[in-house]
Chains A and B, each alone.
Chain A
Amino acid sequence: MAEHGARLLVADDNKVNRLLLKRSLELQGHKVDCAENGRIALQMLQNASFDLLLLDIEMPEMDGFQVLERLVAEPSLADLPVLVLSSLEGVAHVVRCIELGADDYLPKPVNPVLLKARIDSSLEKKRLRDQQKELVRRFATSEVAQDMQQSGFALGGRRIEGTVMFSDIRDFTALVESQPPEETIELLNTYYTLMFDAISGHGGVVNQMIGDGLMAIFGAPLPLADPAGSAVRAALDMIEMIELLNAERTAAAKPALRIGIGVASGEMVAGYTGTQQRATYTCIGDTVNLAARLEAHTKVAQRGILIDSATQVRLDPAVAVELLGAVPFKGKAAPVDVYAVRV
Chain B
Amino acid sequence: MPDTTIDVATFDELKASAGDDFVTELVGTFLEEAPQMLAELRSAREAGSAERFRRAAHSLKSNANTFGALRFGALARDLELGTIPADSAPLDALDAEYARAAAALKALCDG
Contacts and interface: CB of A to CB of B under 8 A. Distances in A.
Contacts of A108: 62, 65-66
Interface string A186-225: 0000000000000000000000000000000000000000
Contacts of B66: 16-17, 20, 108-109
B62 A109 contact: yes
Contacts of A109: 62, 65-66
Interface residues of B, number: 18
B11 to A, nearest CB: 11
A13 B63 CA distance: 12
Contact of B26 (A20, A27, A89): A20
Nearest to B34: A16
Given A20-B18, A89-B81, A109-B65, A58 B59 contact: yes
A112 B22 CA distance: 15
A88 interface: yes
Contacts of A88: 58
Nearest to A56: B62
Interface in A61-120: 87-89, 108-109, 112
Interface string B44-88: 000000000001001101110110000000000000010000000
A15 interface: yes
B33 interface: yes
A23 B22 contact: yes
Given A24-B17, A24-B18, A27-B18, A19 B26 contact: yes
Contact of B58 (A16, A27, A58): A58
A14 interface: yes
A14 B25 CA distance: 15
Interface residues of A, number: 18
A40 to B, nearest CB: 17
Interface string A1-42: 000000000000111110110011001000000000000000
Given A58-B55, A58-B58, A88-B58, A16 B63 contact: yes
Nearest to A63: B55
B67 to A, nearest CB: 8
A89 B73 CA distance: 14
A15 to B, nearest CB: 5
Contacts of A20: 18, 26, 66
A11 to B, nearest CB: 14
Nearest to B58: A58
A14 B61 CA distance: 11
Contacts of A17: 62-63, 66
Contacts of B19: 23, 27
Nearest to A87: B62
Contacts of A87: 58, 61-62, 65
A58 B26 CA distance: 21
Interface string B1-43: 0000000000000000111001001100110010000000000
20 contacts: A13-B59, A14-B62, A15-B29, A16-B26, A16-B29, A16-B66, A17-B66, A19-B26, A20-B66, A23-B18, A23-B19, A27-B18, A58-B55, A58-B58, A58-B59, A87-B62, A88-B58, A89-B81, A108-B62, A108-B66
Interface of A: 13-17, 19-20, 23-24, 27, 58, 60, 87-89, 108-109, 112
Given A14-B33, A19-B26, A112-B18, 7 more contacts: A14-B59, A19-B25, A23-B18, A27-B17, A58-B58, A58-B59, A109-B62
